[in-house]
Amino acid sequence: MPKRKDSSGPGAPLWCLSYGDLVTNMLVFFVMLFAFSTLNATKFEQMAYSFVVALGGGMGVLPSNPTFSPPMPIPPDFIIQGPMTVAELYSNLGGVERSIQQQYGSEAIEVIEGANEVRVRVSGDLLFMPCSASVRPETSQILSALAPELVKAQKEGYRIYIEGHAAYTLSTCPGYIDDFHISSDRALNVLERFKSLGLDDSKMVLVGYGDNIPVGDVNTPQGQAKNRRVEITIRRD
Q: Which domains does the chain have, with CATH numbers?
A: 15-78 (no CATH), 86-236 (3.30.1330.60)
For the residues of 54-72, what is the DSSP string, one character each? HTT--SSPPPSS---PPPP
Confidence of residue 31 (pLDDT cuts 50, 70, 90): confident
43 versus 94: which is more confidently predicted?
94
Confidence of residue 59 (pLDDT cuts 50, 70, 90): very low
pLDDT tens, residue by residue, 172-223? 788 888 899 999 999 999 999 999 999 999 999 999 999 999 999 999 999 9
pLDDT tens, residue by residue, 126-183? 999 988 999 999 999 999 999 999 999 999 999 999 999 999 886 778 888 889 999 9
Is 0.85 topped by the overall pTM?
Answer: no
Contact 159, 203 (CB under 8 A): yes
Per-residue pLDDT at 61 exceeds 70: no
Per-residue pLDDT at 37 exceeds 70: no
Confidence of residue 22 (pLDDT cuts 50, 70, 90): confident
Q: Quick one: which of 167, 185, 168 has its CA closest to 176?
A: 185
**What pLDDT sits at residue 227?**
94
- ∠ CA 96-145-198 to the nearest 5 degrees? 130
33: left (phi over 0), alpha (psi -120 to 50) or beta: alpha
Contact 139, 156 (CB under 8 A): no
Q: Can you give the chain as a three-state secondary structure string?
A: CCCCCCCCCCCCCCHHHHHHHHHHHHHHHHHHHHHCCCCCHHHHHHHHHHHHHHCCCCCCCCCCCCCCCCCCCCCHHHCCCCCCCHHHHHHHHHHHHHHHHHHHCCCCEEEEECCCEEEEEEEHHHHECCCCCCECHHHCHHHHHHHHHHHHHHHCCEEEEEEEECCCCCCCCCCCCCHHHHHHHHHHHHHHHHHHCCCCHHHEEEEECCCCCCCCCCCCHHHHHHHCEEEEEEEEC
Q: Enumerate residues 6+ apart whose C-beta is below 8 A from 57.
A: 23, 51
